[in-house]
Structure 1
Amino acid sequence: MTENTVLKDDFIRTFSEGAGEPKAFTDLRIANWKSAGELSLPFVDKTKIDRWNFTKFDTYQAFENGITDEGLADKVASLVDLDNKEANFYVQVDTHPAKLQLSAELKAQGVIFSDIFTALKEHEELVMKYFMTQAVQSDEHKLTAFHAALVNGGAFLYVPKNVEIKEPIQAVFVQKDASLPLVNHVLLVADDNSSVTYVENYVTLDEDSKGVVNVIEEVIANRGAKITFGAVDNLSSHVTTYMNRRGHIGADSRIEWALGLMNDGDTINENVTNLMGDGSSGDVKTVTVGRGKQTQNVTTRVTHYGKASTGTILSHGVMKDKATTIFNGIGHIKHGASKSDAQQESRVLMLSPSARGDANPILLIDENDVVAGHAASVGRVDPVQLFYLMSRGISRSEAERLVIHGFLDPVVKQLPIEGVKVMLKEVIEGKVR
């Protein structure tokens, strides 16, 4: 399946048992390693991925237990307020937990925030209840099975019933050695009538090594819960990435996504929100900038199962050089989800004649008594806007820069942590210049 000579069933069993993982999790790993060799790659509309490397690597590094005292690069430290004793954050470098901080107040309220393997050992029943059982199934295709077998990093966040966390909780995942595969799993569970804001970053410090990143993130909102989820992905051009973020939203619950998809390498970005309960809602805002020769497929799907559920999708992308990005926006109202509302908008701004951006809005309606709509456009920078700015003494390049920042701002301004927002603006600035 992977042509990796370093991995066999006995190797997986040895490192899993050596790390003290529960037997059920060890068995899950081994079963999925076998399945991964039999399953096919996922179907990705309008993007050929059969020659992309998602599974081949030379060296595998299992998760390293225990917080290390590893210094953080300036690029990472600027994202986290390390001196704030009330801040709540987790930093992982490759597969090593580097920093973890959770306030005494949140601990007293029963909030759990740790690396996912510590949570697995200390809260096995709770983690196993949700780990690839509701939002994502491990046998969906080759990459989900590969993930379940070889997961070697990630975080677990549990917010108990009726707990409202006012300050954001943050995670930073750092690739210091990109040659090591990063198979990262984030599991976020907001129990009944709770609320939380979670923000994360993926950063590559190694700009030279080729690498594989496989990320699955399961976001569970039980009845009456509210989750705000922000992210900035900034992995290097040599890294091939499979990124699967999926929300499972209960009755009268809400999730708000604000995603800055800024990877430079070939990437599959899959964001799915399943509105399971009556009165549930999901709002997805996504921005991306494609450059160089990279290929991206960005699929955003909101599926309505519950009655009177509401889903909105807003995707803005900027394409330059010879980059190609396919935007698939899918709103699906299932039979039985009456009185639901599905809306989406995809806009692509082209900066180069050699770049390609496709916006594909799709509405699938299996029920009467619903509201649905979509809009999509692909075009170049508005010459009227440029003319207006240049008439005020601004150079053409500076005018284009201002238009682009304004075009992407609807998502940028949604990020709730100022340091992360500044970082996203800087990444955008570096990409569009």
Structure 2
Amino acid sequence: MSVETKVLFEKEQIESFSDARKEPEWLRDLRLKGLELTETTELPKPDKTKIDKWNFTQKNFDLAAKPAVNAVSELPEALRLLIGEESADQNLLVQQDSSAVLNKVSADLAEKGVIFTDLQTAFAEHADKVKPYFFGEAVKPSENRLLALHAAIVNGGAFIYVPKNVHVEVPLQAVFSFETNEAAFTNHVIVVAEENSSVTYVENYISQAEGETVANIVAEVYAKAGAKITFGAVDNLSSNVTTYVVRRGHVDKDARVDWALGQMNDGNTVSENTTHLIGDGSWADTKTVTVGRGEQKQNFTTTIFHHGKHSEGHILKHGVMRESATAIFNGISKIEHGATKSNGVQTERVLMLSEKARGDANPILLIDEDDVTAGHAASVGQVDPLQMFYLMSRGISRKEAERLVIHGFLAPVVTQLPIESVKERLREAIEGKVR
């Protein structure tokens, strides 16, 4: 029997929530439009994954405020472990539920005009810069019911803005912790790099609530001409969280976006990562790793659209499925008419470690232009029994041998990730799953 995804909120609740935050009128109107669209739009339809039985019903989005802290040492242990040692030049945003409890930006970056703040503060203090990009070209509320609902009840997130010709040498780190039971965590992250600028942004998602919750996450990334954005993420939400995450990028002439995504959730997950290579010479590189376990179901769809000439798009995805977990890996390289001299390459590999585990890798090339290059590779299979026999013949237990196989299978992706902190967090998340 299907679980109906209901919208439990009224117009008055949305208005009251927006008014209490003293949001600009355009944002209030967008929220109400999103609520209206939930009545006419359908759930997203990820290829080969039925989500009509997944419970996306939102029970509470106006979450109680959390007290602010002055230092990393005052945060809960789970968050301190993610952040590591505190330093003078650290650029950090910590959000518990929907409250930004700690925000640090170095004086040097602030003097250069770099903005790194929570979304609520951005709406209040930088509305002119946020407005063009909040549900801008990358994402529209009218696409499906979950994005419409996201627009209506968004209650957290971050805004990153890098001015023209500014290069941010120290990574910006955001930690989002979900802690309230039966809540709707609706997070929206916007990263904007103006012409010839660069920035590395890393986000970590964890959940500490015990009751059933929903994470509805959107990230919009805009790289202007000649800019470079490195976007890293480690999603590590627990089995009681149903997750819908959309991360999209728009890349202008000679700009580049690198995605490094560790998708280690334990609950049912739909993840969509889409990049539009708008300008000539634009570049996108997407690397994704995941480990599924238990009975969770996951769908990972990565799409790169080539619009500009000489554009480069690379997709690399490795996943390991344990126990009764299932995953769909969809990779799409779409070269539009006029995108001459473009190159689209992708690889998807899934390793299944039990008879009940299921994986499906689907590389797709859609080519509307002749003068291009494109290629793909895919594999789905079980662990080589000879490999396991070799390890166990050396006195290694089956469990430890399986652990080594998983790390070895994911290593080609993990080692290529461009952000050291993402590598470290990801290895920790993988270790947690395999043990």
The 1:419–1:155 alpha-carbon spacing in structure 2 relative to 1, beyond 3 Å, is: same
1:412, CA displacement in angstroms? 2.5
1:413, CA displacement in angstroms? 3.0
Distance 1:220 1:274 in 2: 10
Whether the aligned pair in 2 keeps the contact of 1:233 and 1:263 (CA below 8 Å) is yes
Distance 2:432 2:269 in 1: 19
1:244 aligns with 2:260: no
2:119 alignment partner in structure 1: 116
1:57 aligns with 2:64: no
Distance 2:334 2:220 in 1: 20
Q: Secondary structure at the match of 1:426?
A: helix
2:77 alignment partner in structure 1: 74
Q: Secondary structure at the match of 1:78?
A: helix
1:52, CA displacement in angstroms? 1.3
1:84 alignment partner in structure 2: 87
2:255 alignment partner in structure 1: 253
1:231, CA displacement in angstroms? 0.7
Distance 1:77 1:66 in 2: 16
Whether the aligned pair in 2 keeps the contact of 1:282 and 1:312 (CA below 8 Å) is yes
1:62, CA displacement in angstroms? 5.1
1:97 aligns with 2:97: no
Q: Deviations over 1:218-257 (max 9, x none)?
A: 0110000011111100111111110000011111011111
Whether the aligned pair in 1 keeps the contact of 2:345 and 2:374 (CA below 8 Å) is yes
The 1:66–1:27 alpha-carbon spacing in structure 2 relative to 1, beyond 3 Å, is: farther
1:305 alignment partner in structure 2: 307
Distance 1:89 1:397 in 2: 38
1:292 aligns with 2:291: no
Query: Which of 130, 143, 150 is equivalent to 2:146?
Result: 143
Distance 2:319 2:180 in 1: 29
Whether the aligned pair in 2 keeps the contact of 1:346 and 1:361 (CA below 8 Å) is yes
2:32 alignment partner in structure 1: 30
Whether the aligned pair in 1 keeps the contact of 2:344 and 2:375 (CA below 8 Å) is yes
Q: Secondary structure at the match of 1:129?
A: coil
TM-score w.r.t. the length of structure 2 is: 0.95
Whether the aligned pair in 1 keeps the contact of 2:31 and 2:153 (CA below 8 Å) is yes
Query: Which of 187, 192, 197 is equivalent to 2:195?
Result: 192
What is the identity, as a one-letter code, of the residue corresponding to 1:169?
L
The 1:416–1:313 alpha-carbon spacing in structure 2 relative to 1, beyond 3 Å, is: closer
1:136, CA displacement in angstroms? 0.8
1:423 alignment partner in structure 2: 425
Query: Which of 157, 160, 170 is equivalent to 2:160?
Result: 157
Q: Deviations over 1:259-287 (max 9, x none)?
A: 11000111100011111111001011000
1:344 aligns with 2:351: no
1:407, CA displacement in angstroms? 1.3
Whether the aligned pair in 2 keeps the contact of 1:90 and 1:99 (CA below 8 Å) is yes
Whether the aligned pair in 2 keeps the contact of 1:258 and 1:415 (CA below 8 Å) is yes
What is the identity, as a one-letter code, of the residue corresponding to 1:217?
A
Distance 2:411 2:374 in 1: 25
What is the identity, as a one-letter code, of the residue corresponding to 1:36?
T
1:202, CA displacement in angstroms? 0.4
Whether the aligned pair in 2 keeps the contact of 1:272 and 1:301 (CA below 8 Å) is yes
1:378, CA displacement in angstroms? 0.6
Whether the aligned pair in 2 keeps the contact of 1:61 and 1:152 (CA below 8 Å) is yes
Q: Deviations over 1:79-108 (max 9, x none)?
A: 214621211010000011111100000000
Q: Secondary structure at the match of 1:75?
A: helix
Q: Secondary structure at the match of 1:79?
A: helix
Structure 2 unmatched ranges of 5 or more = none
How does 1:369-384 map onto structure 2 within 5 Å? 369-384=371-386
1:216 alignment partner in structure 2: 218
What is the identity, as a one-letter code, of the residue corresponding to 2:182?
S
1:391, CA displacement in angstroms? 5.1
1:322, CA displacement in angstroms? 0.7
Distance 1:333 1:120 in 2: 36
Distance 2:172 2:195 in 1: 19
The 1:368–1:66 alpha-carbon spacing in structure 2 relative to 1, beyond 3 Å, is: farther
1:417, CA displacement in angstroms? 5.6
What is the identity, as a one-letter code, of the residue corresponding to 1:358?
D
TM-score w.r.t. the length of structure 1 is: 0.95
Q: Deviations over 1:118-143 (max 9, x none)?
A: 11111111100111111111211111
1:388, CA displacement in angstroms? 4.4
Distance 1:221 1:74 in 2: 35
Q: Deviations over 1:398-424 (max 9, x none)?
A: 232222112112333345665543332
Query: Which of 408, 411, 420 is equivalent to 2:413?
Result: 411
Whether the aligned pair in 2 keeps the contact of 1:191 and 1:223 (CA below 8 Å) is yes
How does 1:275-290 map onto structure 2 within 5 Å? 275-290=277-292
Distance 2:77 2:102 in 1: 14
Distance 1:384 1:254 in 2: 42
The 1:104–1:16 alpha-carbon spacing in structure 2 relative to 1, beyond 3 Å, is: same
Structure 1 unmatched ranges of 5 or more = none
1:63, CA displacement in angstroms? 8.1
Distance 2:420 2:324 in 1: 32
Distance 1:66 1:108 in 2: 28
Whether the aligned pair in 1 keeps the contact of 2:232 and 2:422 (CA below 8 Å) is no
Distance 1:371 1:333 in 2: 10
Whether the aligned pair in 2 keeps the contact of 1:89 and 1:171 (CA below 8 Å) is yes
